[in-house]
Structure 1
Amino acid sequence: MSGRPVRLRPSARGWTFAAVALVVLVGAPLTGQRDVLRVGVLLVVLLVVAGWSAVRSAATLDLVSRSKSELVEAGVTSTVRLTVLGRARAGVRLVLEDQVPLALGGTARLPVPRLREGQILDLEHRVRAEVRGSYPLGPVTLVARDVFGLVTASRTLGGSVTLDVLPRVHPLADLVLGDLGGARGSSAGASAAASLDDVSLREYRVGDDLRRVHWRSTARRGAVMVRSDEHPGRPDVVLLLDTRAAAHEGRGAGSSLEWAVSLVASAAVHLHRRGHRVRLLHDGAFDPPRELDDSSAVRGLLRSLARLRPGGPEGLARSVAALGRADSTLLVAVLAGVDEEDVAPLLSARPLGVPALAVLERTAAWTQPGQDDGPGLRRAHLVLARAGWRTALAGPGDPVSEVWARLTRTGARGTPAGAPSDATRAARPAPLPDEEVRP
């Protein structure tokens, strides 16, 4: 049995009984009403017995384990399982209360049947969050109420744990960079001549799994090519996220920041599944560390996005400065509320010969639908396009998959917001597999 102390608290009915008993015990001797005095004594005995039975019952149950997914996606229901062990048969009603934030559905109350000594019982409840974030779960409290409802005894079982709710992940179309212009330096031709998949391909070696053969590249090159999970010294795909609080608009799940985070998360999962190392750059820092393996890195990246908070006004400038020291094969920037002065440093910070894509959020539309983009955003768009960046504008009504499709070779250029492109229709759903959301 856990050594946690039991807390006893009278209910409203219990306080009423106690007040009546006190009045009777004090007033009966003064008035010579012995029969009334017996009633007062009976009330006191009833309160004592109710308290004793509740305290005893609160010590008859222990929490054995709590099972949950530490990483779940926003908008997806997750199951929390509690396993309890009976120490003795309880004499009163027992309820387990799992402390859950309102954003996840509020405190869960689970009735517990009477258990024999040594009997194990599995209980479960569901949680769901519409907004990414890091939420505490627990502690679990065992509440015992006597049959008359006079007192409540409670005991804390276990501690709190953290549930990270990831941003929504959307299916994305394949990204091909062969027609990207504006790559600079002698390596530009090599970068532009191949698709992003080619970075993770190598020639077949005896013993390789034939299921890893990349048939399209095999046909194009005339040699058997396989996907490789070993990328020693391979540069990273960098996802630059503009998190400046002043640059974003809207609140909650419908804000421009949440839209941007969802796009970055979708791109990270999509590129990771295609065999590429992905790193997040925001507020001047890379996350996760380069030393982690690919699977751990993408889990760390998603966890960082779940816990991400709006940054300061210098966050974008610091990220651009850090970008100049990075080595990458692809740069994807998601920018909010920018003008030509904000994006100008990106042109020189962009690694030599690296293809670059940028999504520019029309943040004004998040609070004022139909609002004009403004000259600053239009000039920023033009500056990046002239420098060889592939760009797309995004508003609150634009699906993440559609905006990404505009950045692909097969994406429908000029497709109206909300109209599905061929690439979007061809993209298959990509739910997070268990191995990518469990630590």
Structure 2
Amino acid sequence: MSVGGTPPEGGDDRGAVRAALSGLTTRGRSFLAAGIAAAMCSYVLGQGDLLRVGLLLAALPLVCVAVVYRTRCRVAGSRRLSPARVPAGSEARVQLRVDNISRLPTGLLMLQDRVPYVLGPRPRFVLDRVEPGGRREVSYRVRSDLRGRYPLGPLQLRLTDPFGMCELTRGFSSYDLLTVVPRVEPLPAVRLAGEAAGYGDGRNRSLALAGEDDVIPRGYRHGDDLRRVHWRSTARYGELMVRREEQPQRARCTVLLDTRETAHFGSGPDSGFEWAVSGAASVAVHLLQRGYAVRLLTDTGASVPGTDGGSGFSGPVLESADTAGLLLDALAVMDHSAEPGLSPAYDLLRGGAEGLLVAFLGDLDEEQAAVVARMRQRSGGAVAFLLDNAAWAGGAGTASDPLQRRLQLLREAGWTALRVGPGTPLAALWRQAEAGAGAPTVSGMTGGWQ
């Protein structure tokens, strides 16, 4: 929740007063003009009663300006998003709260929150007078089919007096960010080629010592087996130490996303690029839930969630939920790149240490197809989802000859390569990836093996 506080006063009081006077409504200006005219007529005609009437007419809007001017810094506002991260096409609830922190009741309040056009029209609310120390709460919903990071706010209040003589609009300084992440499709649990066998879902265990001289002790933790206590280190450090005889080694997966502008056709929520972004998010979240150490790699060589000893994989200090949040936040703002090829991503891959490689690729020419084929030598297993841009552009439903040649080249290099057309469910393709090169075409799909 972000607390907006009171609307800003500004550094120049005289400027603030001029701004308050500029807030006079047509009614207020009319009263002021009538009062001045009556005062002038009383001077010309020598009528004292007319002067009193003129002073009353002119004073009323000025008093209203003073009241509204005082009210401008005695109202506090806050905003709360629930949730602050939503998938594309889902709704988020925004709750606004206005507190009267003055000793006087407010007048009529008109509340408006600024939202980007893609999230819908600007919400507006009319609030009755708020008693001293009272508060009012209103809420609205926002929804976007386009992923991204959208600012909400700042909140605006329009203050009016009971007579409608003056209206002042004041804005709060705080705003919140709504992150619209790609849709994540649930995937079935399958075993892909190249996954490590043995411990858990693709995990191995490695020894952390080779003998008594290579012991790496650590502090005792509740639940440790007392038979693993290392007495020599305990005597040396003055606290109970245990041997780290073996540690789990997490299986790794690199999710490669091709963001080259020249490799994709069209834009919008139904484009092939958005399918690839959503597919990368789905695979990353699915493998994180299975215990993998996952990183996101783009054609530019950028790696998310960062670096861990230069590898770019999430370290043990990052929980799966935190890593998933980092990946989804990065994919929420992922856009096309001007990179001409995939060589930066290839250079970042280290031979034999990457584990599973899952690539979402756009259009490939012969040179880039050869680069992708060489990536197979730097991974334990490789699955490629190759977008059929001709089909996404509204062409034929079968793979073109160039695409067939690219698929064949990747398969000969050891990739499990699958064609992706519009309307292709990722879950079905994920099952095909388990079967490898001999997977049959899924009935009723506009994609898959051809």
- Identify the TM-score tier after normalising by the shorter chain: 0.7 to 0.9
Contact 1:340/1:383, CA 8 A, preserved across alignment: no
TM-score w.r.t. length of structure 1 = 0.75
Q: 1:370 aligns with which of 375, 382, 396?
A: 396
SS at match of 1:252: coil
Match of 1:288 among 294, 305, 330: 305
Matched to 2:152, the amino acid is: L
Question: 1:172 and 1:49, CA in 2 relative to 1: closer, same or farther beyond 3 A?
Answer: same
Alignment-mate amino acid for residue 268 of structure 1: A
Shift in CA distance, 253/122, structure 1 to aligned 2, threshold 3 Å: same
Which range is displaced more, 291-300 or 409-418?
A: 409-418
Letter in 1 for 2:109: L
Contact in 2 for aligned 1:327/1:351 (Cα 8 Å): no
Gaps of 5+ in 1: 181-190, 209-229, 422-439
Residue 200, structure 1, aligned to residue 200, structure 2: no
Distance verdict in 2 for CA 1:355–1:11, change over 3 Å: farther
Distance 1:375 1:42, change over 3 A: farther
Indicate if the aligned counterparts of 1:20 and 1:40 stay in contact, CA closer than 8 A.
Answer: no
Alignment correspondent of 2:108: 93
Partner of 1:13: 26
Contact 1:249–1:367 under 8 Å retained in 2? yes
Q: Given the alignment of the two structures, is residue 253 of structure 1 paired with residue 269 of structure 2, yes or no?
A: yes
Aligned partners of 2:420 and 2:447 also within 8 Å: no
2:256 paired residue number? 240
Report if the CA contact (8 A) 1:340-1:376 is conserved. no
Report matched runs for 1:24-173 at 5 Å.
24=37, 44-64=58-78, 66-88=80-102, 89-173=104-188
The structural deviation recorded for 1:143 is 1.9
Which deviations, in whole Å up to 9, do the C-alpha atoms of 1:391-422 show, x marking residues without a partner? Answer: 2111222233333333233997311454899x
Deviations 1:141-187 (A, max 9, x none): 2221234444321333341222211111111122212xx4xxxxxxx
* CA pair 119-265 structure 1, distance change in 2 beyond 3 A: same
Given that residues 81 and 92 in structure 2 are in contact (C-alpha distance below 8 angstroms), is that contact kept between their aligned partners in structure 1?
Answer: no
Q: Are the equivalent residues in 1 in contact too, given 2:392–2:422 (CA < 8 A)? A: yes
Question: Residue 337 and residue 12 in structure 1: after superposition, are their counterparts in 2 closer, same or farther (change >3 A)?
Answer: farther
Identify the residue that residue 382 of structure 1 maps to in structure 2: 408
What letter matches 1:281 in structure 2?
A: L
Describe the shift of the 1:346–1:367 C-alpha distance in structure 2 as closer, same or farther (beyond 3 A). closer
Deviates more, 1:32-41 or 1:135-144: 32-41
Structure 2 Cα separation of the partners of residues 71 and 248 of structure 1 = 27
| Match for residue 190 of structure 2 among 170, 175, 182 | 175
The DSSP-based 3-state class of the residue aligned with 1:135 is: strand
Q: Which amino acid aligns with 1:395?
A: G
Q: Indicate how the Cα distance of structure 1 residues 39 and 73 shifts in structure 2: closer, same or farther if over 3 A, else same.
A: farther
2:275 partner letter: W
Residue identity matched to 1:237: C
Deviates more, 1:93-102 or 1:17-26: 17-26
Native 8 Å contact 1:200 1:231 kept in 2: no
Is the CA contact 2:205–2:249 (under 8 Å) kept in the aligned structure 1? no
Deviates more, 1:39-48 or 1:399-408: 39-48
Instruction: Kindly report the root-mean-square deviation, in angstroms, between the aligned alpha carbons of the 2 structures.
Output: 3.7
C-alpha distance in 1 between matches for 2:164 and 2:181: 42
**Alpha-carbon distance in 2 for matches of 1:11, 1:375:** 72
**Alignment equivalent of 1:400, drawn from 426, 431, 440:** 426
Q: Name the CA shift for 1:274/1:27 in 2 (closer, same or farther; >3 Å).
A: same
C-alpha distance in structure 1 between counterparts of 2:108 and 2:97, whole Å: 18
Matches for 1:262-301 after TM superposition, within 5 Å: 262-282=278-298, 283-291=300-308, 292=315, 293-295=318-320, 296-301=322-327
Tell me, yes or no, if the aligned pair for 1:167 and 1:262 is still in contact at 8 Å: yes
**Is residue 4 from structure 1 mapped to residue 8 from structure 2 by the alignment?**
yes
How far apart, CA to CA, are the structure 2 residues paired with 1:309 and 1:31? 73
2:363 aligned to 320, 325, 337, which one? 337
SS at match of 2:435: coil
Contact 1:243–1:316, Cα closer than 8 Å, also in 2:
no
For residues 196 and 18 of structure 1, the distance between their equivalents in structure 2, rounded to whole angstroms, comes to: 84
**1:39 Cα deviation (Å)?**
7.5
Moved more, 131-140 or 395-404: 395-404
Instruction: Supply the AA of the counterpart residue of 1:79.
Output: R
Query: Is 1:318 paired with 2:344?
Result: yes
**Partner Cα distance (1:376, 1:365) in 2:** 13
Determine the C-alpha separation between the residues in 2 that align with 1:250 and 1:195.
Answer: 43
Identify if the C-alpha distance between structure 1 residues 367 and 38 changes in structure 2 by more than 3 Å, giving closer, same or farther.
farther
Per mean C-alpha deviation after superposition, the further-off stretch among 156-165 and 167-176 is: 156-165
- 3-state SS of paired residue (1:380): helix
Secondary structure at the counterpart of residue 407 of structure 1: helix
Whole-Å separation in 2 of the counterparts to 1:63 and 1:86: 9
Aligned length: 386
**TM-superposed deviation, 1:121:** 4.2
CA spacing shift, 1:121–1:29, aligned 2, 3 Å: closer
Higher relative contact order (CA 8 A, sep 6+): 1
How far off is 1:272 after superposition? 0.9
User: How far apart in 2 are the matches of 1:33 and 1:385?
Assistant: 104
- The answer for the alignment partner of 1:415 in structure 2 is 442
Conservation of the 8 A alpha-carbon contact between 1:339 and 1:379: no
The TM-score, its normalising length taken from structure 2, stands at: 0.73
Partners of 2:357 and 2:130 in 1: CA distance: 59
Partner of 1:308: 334
Q: CA 1:249/1:20 → structure 2, altered by over 3 Å: closer, same or farther?
A: farther
Distance in 1 (CA, whole Å) between partners of 2:329 and 2:195 is 32
